[in-house]
Amino acid sequence: MNIGLFVFIIGLCAFLLDMMITRGLHKRTDYVQEVWNDVLDSTVTPDVIVLGNCVAAHDHNPRILDSVLGVNSYVFAMSNLTFPYHNYMWQMLKKYRSKYPSLIILSLDYSDLSYREAKSNMENEQFLSLMFDKDSRNFLYKYGGYSWMDVHVPCYRYFGHQKRIKYGLLNYIGLEKYAGSPEHYKGYIGLDVPYTPHREWFNGSFSQVIEPEIVEMLDAFLKDCKERNIEVLVALPPIAYELSDKVNNEDEIYAIYDSLAHRYGYDCVSYCAPHWMSMDTNHFESPNHLNKEMSNVYTLDLAKYIASRHILQTQGHKN
């Protein structure tokens, strides 16, 4: 067998295996992939969407939003990531959905104006099967820390991700019941555990980086929503005061959010210190995640704010 034929056979096998894993992951699996499946399948078209990082996923309970506001809501969150990824999720939602939402709750925190690579994120596996999509490839190559090999070479990105390989192949051959469990309700996961301070995360006070390009990206996002007649509420969920105290330029960052929101006639509501929800660590699972009980309190208060300000439009818009 000559070398060319051997390379061709290896390449073909890698391509077929990559296809099987990727297609399999776009079926039933665990939380890491399930939210993306709901985006790509175009079956989830809520009136209200929540965009953000893991704070969005753990703090915003769709059951309460739906009950109070009389809507269908969904949380589209990506753990431990910053605004460029929320914007990326929005681009993908526009691409795969049949209508626009009436309201976007944009959940932000002190870190969102900085860069963070998806590949080094603890839940980077959620992006592996998205490489079939050209826009995803381009974004993850530019911002996510994924190499040319990750993006273009079959199977390469799955190296070291045994669980994704296992779930993908099990789904592909029809054994979905062995391939993980979603573990969420419309993107929400309540955290019913005691507070852990995670002081090892931080070494004294620090100033969070503010990237001008991301400020411009946030401005463009809000402008895009305004032009599409979509309401936006910029929400700053509770953060334990002992974390807020460590961020030297927190006020500067939140002032940027407030200024950009008001530029387009949107509200920016803050639950950060000194708001009472942020002043008791018993309200939290970790410094930046509410526990389940307080996530319900926070979501209820946020829903009442939306209702009292008449922010919500009841009719979604076709793309």
Q: How many CB atoms lie within 10 A of CB 170?
A: 19
Pairwise pLDDT comparison (183 vs 220), residue with the higher score: 220
What pLDDT does 316 receive?
44
What pLDDT does 313 receive?
59
Beta strands 231-236 and 73-77, pairing class: unpaired
Pairwise pLDDT comparison (80 vs 210), residue with the higher score: 210
pTM over 0.85: yes
Average pLDDT along the chain: 90
pLDDT in tens, 204-217: 889 999 999 999 99
Q: Is 2 exposed, middle or buried (0-12, 13-18, 19+ CB in 10 A)?
A: exposed
Annotation: CATH topology of 3-318: Rossmann fold (3.40.50)
pLDDT in tens, 249-281: 999 999 999 999 999 999 999 999 999 999 999
**Secondary structure (3-state) at 107:** strand
Q: How many CB atoms lie within 10 A of CB 98?
A: 10
- Helices and strands in the chain, H and E counts: 12, 9
The secondary structure of the chain in percent helix, strand, coil, rounded to multiples of 5, reads 50, 10, 35
Predicted confidence band of residue 1 (pLDDT cuts 50, 70, 90): low
- CA 210/CA 216 separation, integer angstroms: 11
- CA 259/CA 17 separation, integer angstroms: 49
CA–CA distance from 229 to each of 49, 121, 302 (Å)? 15, 34, 21
DSSP secondary structure string, 9-20?
HHHHHHHHHHHH
The residue-averaged pLDDT of 114-122 equals: 87
